[in-house]
């Protein structure tokens, strides 16, 4: 596990005309669940993608633990990311979908099996390991996507609106599941959403972003009492 430190993180587009992320500085503690919230277009995804290394940093720095990672390739960062589109492989079983990143990393078969079984247990997917994603509910598919992230045992979890494709009832259920999972794993998590209810109910702290600028970072209780 590791802390994440953002130092003056900045992304400019359109030849400098647009600052999608504008001087964001933030310390996310080891094991913390931080929710990054703000309206569509405020720069949440861009910030998250810079932390993942999927977007070039225009200015500033990202640290994971004690490591300065600006120039570190995405796959060499100790990070796993979950997107709103689950991007599961339709022709592969749930087991193989979860195992995939470990097979790519050429882990020993026994270790892969141990980690997949453990993830399936934590996510209550044991009964579905042989199924194809097309034969699962939306919530189960979301859990498979999380399983694929968990098995890598990353220091940091990044989630970009992971629940936005689910219906309202399932979204409420999955909010609680993700919060509980994060609590049990204790993995440092940055969760991006435009949904204020998610922001106020899921995380230890909430960071509010507007037009690329960080407005406020505090616990939900403090934000609620001093909006």
Instruction: Give burial (CB, 10 Å; 0-12/13-18/19+) of 176.
Output: exposed
Classify residue 51 by its DSSP letter: H
Shortest reach from residue 193's CB to ligand ADP, in Å: 10
Residues of span 20-39 touching ligand ADP by CB under 6 A: 20, 38
- Backbone phi and psi for residue 28, each to the nearest 5 degrees, phi listed first: -105, 120
In the list 75, 109, 130, 135, the residue contacting ligand ADP (rule: CB under 6 A) is 75
Shortest reach from residue 100's CB to ligand ADP, in Å: 11
Distances (CA, A) of 145 to 33, 61, 82, 180, 196: 19, 29, 7, 16, 23
**Toward ligand ADP, which CB reaches closer, 43 or 60?**
43
**Toward ligand ADP, which CB reaches closer, 18 or 127?**
18
**Toward ligand ADP, which CB reaches closer, 16 or 221?**
16
Residue found under tokens 């960062």 = 77
Shortest reach from residue 126's CB to ligand ADP, in Å: 25
In the list 25, 74, 91, 127, the residue contacting ligand ADP (rule: CB under 6 A) is 74
Contact string 2-21 vs ligand ADP (x = CB under 6 A): -----------xx---x-x-
Residues of span 81-110 touching ligand ADP by CB under 6 A: 81
In the list 43, 60, 147, 162, the residue contacting ligand ADP (rule: CB under 6 A) is 43
Q: CB of 132 within 8 A of CB of 86?
A: no
Closest by Cα among 143, 148, 75, 76 to 112? 148
Distances (CA, A) of 65 to 1, 68, 78, 84, 201: 8, 8, 10, 26, 26
Is residue 40 a contact residue for ligand ADP (CB under 6 A)? yes
- Backbone phi and psi for residue 161, each to the nearest 5 degrees, phi listed first: 45, 55
Is residue 188 a contact residue for ligand ADP (CB under 6 A)? no
Q: How many Cβ atoms are within 10 Å of 146's Cβ, its own excluded?
A: 25
Q: Which stretch binds ligand ADP (CB under 6 A): 45-53, 62-70, 91-99, 115-123?
A: 45-53
Residues that bind ligand ADP (CB under 6 A): 13-14, 18, 20, 38, 40-46, 52, 54, 74-75, 79-81
């Amino acid at each position: 596990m590791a802390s994440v430190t953002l130092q003056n993180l900045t992304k400019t587009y359109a030849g400098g005309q647009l600052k999608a992320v504008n001087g964001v500085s933030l310390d996310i503690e080891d094991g913390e669940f931080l929710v990054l919230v703000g309206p569509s277009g405020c720069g949440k995804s861009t910030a998250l993608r810079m932390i993942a290394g999927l977007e070039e940093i225009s200015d500033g720095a990202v640290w994971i633990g004690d490591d300065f990672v600006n120039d570190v390739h995405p796959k060499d960062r100790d990070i796993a990311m979950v997107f709103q589109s689950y991007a599961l492989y339709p022709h592969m079983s749930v087991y193989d979908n979860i195992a995939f990143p470990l097979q790519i990393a050429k882990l020993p078969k026994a270790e892969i099996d141990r980690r997949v079984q453990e993830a399936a247990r934590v996510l209550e997917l044991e009964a579905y390991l042989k199924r194809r994603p097309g034969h699962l509910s939306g919530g189960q598919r979301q859990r498979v996507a999380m399983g694929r992230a968990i098995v890598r045992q990353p220091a940091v979890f990044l989630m970009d609106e992971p629940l936005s494709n689910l219906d309202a009832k399932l979204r409420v259920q999955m909010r609680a599941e993700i919060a509980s999972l994060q609590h049990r794993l204790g993995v440092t998590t940055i969760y991006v959403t435009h949904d204020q209810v998610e922001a106020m109910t899921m995380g230890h702290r909430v960071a509010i972003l507007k037009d690329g600028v960080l407005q406020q970072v505090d616990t939900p209780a403090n934000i609620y009492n001093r909006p």
